[in-house]
Amino acid sequence: MRIIILNSLFCLYLFGCSSKQPSINSSYATKLSDTISILLKEEKFDEICNLFDNNMRSQLSKEKFAAIWAQLNTQYGKYSGSKGVSQVENLPDIGIRTIQNCQFGDKELYLSLVINNQNKISGIFFSPQKQ
C-alpha cells in the first residue's frame, strides 16, 4: 500500500507533451540521472527541484520532496547510492527515460527519470520493480 502511495506521489507528471523528437541524447540523460543520484545522497533537494520542468516544480516542492525522501529512507533503509543507469529508453514525442538501481539499506528500488525535450525532468518515481 505504501509503495502505491509513494509511486503516485513520484508519478506526478511522468509524461509531458511535445511534438518534437527528443533533442537530448542518451549520454546527457545518463549524466543527468547520475547527477540526481549524487544529489539525492547529499539531500540537495533545491538543486534537484531546479532541474524539474515547470509542471513538476509546481506540483512537487522541495519541502514535499524532502518529506517523501525521509519516508522512503525510513521505510526501506538509508539510501546508500545508485548502481548506475541500467536502462535508457527513447520516448517518442516526450524525451528519454532512464532507470537506475538504487540501494536503500538492504533493499533495492528502481529510480525512473523522464527527461523532456527541453532537458528538464518531467517525471521521477521509485518502484520496487522495473516499470
Confidence of residue 24 (pLDDT cuts 50, 70, 90): confident
pLDDT in tens, 27-43: 999 999 999 999 999 99
Domains annotated for the chain, with CATH where assigned, are 2-127 (3.10.450.590)
User: Alpha helices of the chain — where are they, by DSSP H?
Assistant: 2-10, 26-41, 45-49, 54-59, 62-76
More confident residue, 44 or 3: 44
User: Which phi and psi angles does 11 have, rounded to 5°?
Assistant: -95, 25
Tell me how far apart the alpha carbons of residues 64 and 76 are, in angstroms, rounded to a whole number. 18
**What global pTM score does this model have?**
0.79
